[in-house]
Structure 1
Amino acid sequence: MARVTAVNISQKKGVIKEPIPLGYFKENHGLMGDAHAGEWHRQVSLLGQESIDKIAALGIEGLSAGKFAENLTTEGIDLYKYPVGTRLKIGETVMEISQIGKKCHTKCAIFEQVGRCAMPMEGVFTKVIKGGYIHPGDEIEVLE
C-alpha cells in the first residue's frame, strides 16, 4: 500500500524540514506555513523513503523524514516513475505531478548538511488541485 509516512515543514528555504502531525494543503498554494508554498509549479515536494534508504545504504547516518526538505515522505510507490500531469489522491487532497527531479544548486545547504541528495533524480513536485488535510499514514492513490 502506498502511503505518506511523514508530513514535513520549514519556515525558511534551504533548511531541513521538521515532521508535523498534520498538514493543511491549500489549493494552488501548498502546505500552509511552509517556505516553499506559493502560486508556482513546485508547491509540494515528495520523496520516497526508498530513495532515502538508498542514500543511507551509502553509509550516511542520521537520515530521517524531512532531511531532504521534502514536504511529504512516502513509501510503497515510486512517484518519480509517473509522468508529469499524473494526478494523485493523498489524504483529502488531489495533487498533480508538475516536475520530476530538480537541478540542485552546487552544494546547497541540504547537501552540505547531509552529504548527498536524492531530490535531483527521484524527488517529485506537485501542484495542489484540491486542498485538504494530510496525516502520516494517509494512502496515496494514482487517479490518472
Structure 2
Amino acid sequence: MSTPHLASVNVGTPKQIGVRKGRPVMSAIDKRAVPGRHTVEGVNVAGDEQADLRVHGGADKAVYAYADEDTAWWSAELERELWPGVFGENLTTRGVDCTNAVIGERWRIGSAVFEVCQPRQPCFKLGLHLEDPKMLKRFAQASRPGAYLRILEPGTIEAGDAIEITDVPDHGVTIRLVADAVLLDHDLAADAARAPQLPEGLRGWLLERAG
C-alpha cells in the first residue's frame, strides 16, 4: 500500500435521493470532494450535514472514512466509475486498510486526532443513491464497511495530509469482525464484543447476541 495519507475530504448536505412508499427520501450520502483545509470538531467536518440524526451523526459517528482501494474494488465489481465520497465517506484514505483497522486505534491527520470506533451499517439509502436495489445486501456481504471515527482532538485537515496511526489496542478486534458479527454471523458476537472502545449500545447488542 502507498504511504498512508488523506486522498480527499468530502462533505454533503441533505437532498432528495429517491421516493419510498410515496414519500421523498432525504439523505446527505452524496458527498463530494472539497479543496482546502477543513475544521473537524465536535461531531462533524465543517460543511457536512446529516439528514436523519436519529441514526447518523453524533460522537460515535462523527466522521466516516473509506479507503480509496475499496472504492476501486467496487468500481471493478459494479463495472462503473465511482468517485471519492460515493459511499458517503468524509475521508477518502489511501494506504490505510480501513476494513482491518482495530477498534480504538488512533489516527493523527493534520492537526486532528481520531479514534476508530465502529463499522458502517448500510441502510436502504445506499441502494437508492447508487440506483441498485441489491446494493444493501452486496455491501454487507463484501465485508468492506469503512470505519466511523470519533474526534478526540479537533483540528484542521486537508487532502494530502499524512495519516499517522499512533496507537493500536492489543485486543485485535477489527472493523471487519464487528461488521461481520452484526450483519453476517452472530456467532462472532462474543469475539467482537471484546473491544471496550465500541459504542456502548453496539457493544451491549453484541453481548446480548453472545448470550
Following superposition, the deviation at residue 14 of structure 1 comes to 4.0
* Alignment pair present for 1:3 and 2:5: yes
Distance 2:8 2:129 in 1: 18
* Alignment pair present for 1:84 and 2:103: yes
TM-score relative to the length of structure 1 = 0.86
Match of residue 18 from structure 1: 32
- Structure of greater Rg: 2
* Identity of matched residues, %: 25
Distance 1:106 1:38 in 2: 15
Aligned to 2:124, the other structure's residue is in SS state coil
Q: 1:139 to 1:107 in 2, by over 3 A?
A: closer
Aligned residues: 143
Q: Which moved more, 1:132-141 or 1:94-103?
A: 94-103
Q: Which moved more, 1:4-13 or 1:103-112?
A: 103-112
Q: Mapping of 1:53-92 within 5 angstroms?
A: 53-92=72-111
Match of residue 95 from structure 1: 114
Aligned to 1:45, the other structure's residue is in SS state strand
Q: 1:90 to 1:51 in 2, by over 3 A?
A: same
Distance 2:133 2:74 in 1: 10
The answer as to whether partners of 1:69 and 1:110 remain within 8 angstroms in 2 is no
The letter of the residue matching 2:91 is L
Greater share of residues in strand: 1
Following superposition, the deviation at residue 85 of structure 1 comes to 1.0
Q: 1:19 to 1:119 in 2, by over 3 A?
A: farther
The letter of the residue matching 1:19 is A
Q: Which moved more, 1:119-128 or 1:44-53?
A: 119-128
